[in-house]
Amino acid sequence: MSDDHQSCSILSAGEPAATRSAAPMWIIVTTLVLLFLGGIYFDRHSGWFDAKVYAPYASAENLGAYQPQSGPAVFLARGRKNYEAVCGICHGPDGLGKPGQAPALAGSQLVNCKGFDRLIHIPLAGLAGPITVAGQGWNLNMAAMGAALPDDDLAAVLTYIRSSWGNTAGPVAGDDVKKVRAAIGRNPQPLGGAQTMAMPE
Amino acid sequence: MKTGISVFLAAFVALGASWCGFVLAPMLQLGGAKQTVVLQSTDNWPLQRTGDATLGLQIYRAYGCAACHTEQVRQTGAAFEITLNSLGVQKPADFIEFTKSLFVLPELAAYTNAIATGLNDWNGGLPKTLLTSTDKDIVTEMADRLKAVGVKSETRIVATGADIARGWGSRQSVAADYLYDQPVQLGGLRAGPDLANIGVRAPDANWQLAHLYAPKSVTPASTMPSFKFLFEVRPVGATPSPDALNLPKEFAAAAGYEVIPKPEAKQLAAYLLSLKANVPLYEAPFTPVMPPNK
């Protein structure tokens, strides 16, 4: 290549250099509008980074509105919770009881029967003395473990044990517990085993 | 290059921002996830898999099951549903008359047609779904009015969406479901059905094994390839093996032979049976169907 070829106008004007120039106004405005719209979308749909909030729920508040509040399933769940806290320690979370501590509730004729007044009476007043459950004799003392539970909670517990582990008896309502509690009075005495077995259902 | 440092900084900020968005933020949000509890219960969720099922996850991965199956149920919405449990002293005909009288209420007017169509071909069978709505006030209003006339109803929370309608689950999959999956195999293509709840839909180990051995033996329309190499066809010994597959006649081995799953097949089946992401959680609530109370 000859020197003549390099003598074009660019070189004669010197090395080109990048210069600073202001960003066009429309880019700035568009960016700000997009940021604003993005902010609105984020506010409506993000759940504010709450790890518990997934789409389609928009916020923790929206998710909270869809939590179950009532109904038979909730009543049973409440019964199970109380059962496992109060009764399950001796009768077992599986309702099978513990040898020398408590008889099984699963398949027990005291639980799985048509009426429930006698069943309500046991946790409210306690039970002391020999009883027979599913053909096996037990001679133990049970304190009035359910006396401290509110009527609704005890009803939920009894409904739970009457419909779990193969038991198929019907539900117990809070009012039923209230009636029995009123009949027992303020100073409950544990019933003897024979008395309990002789009680009407 | 005079602007080299600016170009480097700009590229660094762009990559750093996407790293913050795609790696750091999810890590801060879900990185500390722990076992949670099933809604309205004291049961933990999820439970650690048994040894066989943990090995099965690696087999699921090795044979590329995730290429055709997903493990993710999607949900597009949630709704409240009123289900009638008992009409009390009312007769079905009286009850239909009663619901018609409710239609004059302005707040229920929008649901008039939906309820009326639902009751037209109703033969009085219970439980009966009366109304589905995303508006909690309407549902509460309706439930109160039903209670006032002695009708027992339950307000249930249901998830909605195409996957739910297909029966692939009662709710969407959430991060907690995958706590013990290593690696998480969400899958990207649904040549086969979603498997997030296959342990609930097909709880029988023999079904799972027969399906791996000869998919058409349990699902005639299946396009799944057979995984016969996970099984051994061998002559029946002095006593038949208790592990031998129970297959329909046209798929069974020749007389005098039995189909025995190799350990790999058993582990894969154990993994499939462990996929039961169908319990209500706080982040994915629904009302489970209770077994009928006799």
Is B4 part of a structural domain of the chain?
Answer: no
Identify all chain A residues contacting B288, using CB atoms and an 8 Å cutoff. 73
Q: How many CB pairs under 8 A join A and B?
A: 72
Long-range contacts formed by B252-257: CB under 8 A, 24+ apart: B257/B233
**Residue A104 to residues A19, A93, A98, A153, Cα–Cα distance (Å):** 88, 11, 7, 21
B62, B197: one domain: yes
**Residue A175 is encoded by which pair of tokens?**
């009012």
Q: Does B42 sit within 8 Å of A56, measured CB to CB?
A: no
From first to last of the 294 residues of chain B, give the pLDDT tens digit.
678 899 999 999 999 999 999 999 999 989 888 999 888 777 889 999 999 999 999 999 999 999 999 999 999 999 998 888 777 777 777 777 777 777 666 666 666 666 766 677 777 677 778 778 887 888 887 888 787 777 878 888 999 999 999 999 999 999 999 999 989 999 989 999 999 999 999 999 999 999 999 999 999 999 999 999 999 999 998 898 999 999 999 999 888 999 999 999 999 999 999 999 989 999 999 988 765 543
Kindly give, in sequence order, each residue whose CB lies less than 8 Å from that of residue B215, ignoring residues fewer than 6 positions away: B222, B223, B224, B225, B226
Distance from CA of B42 to the nearest CA of A (A): 7
Q: Which residue of A has its CA nearest to B134?
A: A66
Q: Which residue of A has its CA nearest to B82?
A: A71
What is the value of ipTM here, to two decimals? 0.77
Is B116 part of a structural domain of the chain?
Answer: yes
Identify all chain A residues contacting B280, using CB atoms and an 8 Å cutoff. 68
Return the CATH number at B154: 3.30.1390
Identify all chain B residues contacting A52, using CB atoms and an 8 Å cutoff. 282-283
Return the CATH number at B257: 1.10.760.10
Q: Does B136 sit within 8 Å of A171, measured CB to CB?
A: no
Kindly give, in sequence order, each residue whose CB lies less than 8 Å from that of residue A141, ignoring residues fewer than 6 positions away: A126, A127, A128, A129, A190
Is B288 part of a structural domain of the chain?
Answer: no
Number of domains present in the structure of chain B: 2
pTM for the model stands at 0.71
For B132, the domain range is 77-159
CATH 1.10.150.120 holds for A72-198: no
Distance from CA of A118 to the nearest CA of B (A): 20
Identity of the residue in B39, B78, B154 whose CB atom sits nearest the CB atom of A71: B154
Q: Which letter, b or e, does each residue of B211-220 get, where b requires 16 or more Cβ atoms within 10 Å of its Cβ?
A: bbbbbebbbe
Q: Does A72 sit within 8 Å of B154, measured CB to CB?
A: yes
Identity of the residue in B76, B284, B287 whose CB atom sits nearest the CB atom of A71: B287
Q: Which residue of B has its CA nearest to A54?
A: B283
Q: Does A67 sit within 8 Å of B290, measured CB to CB?
A: no
Domain ranges of chain A: 25-67, 72-198
Is B33 part of a structural domain of the chain?
Answer: no
B201, B250: one domain: yes
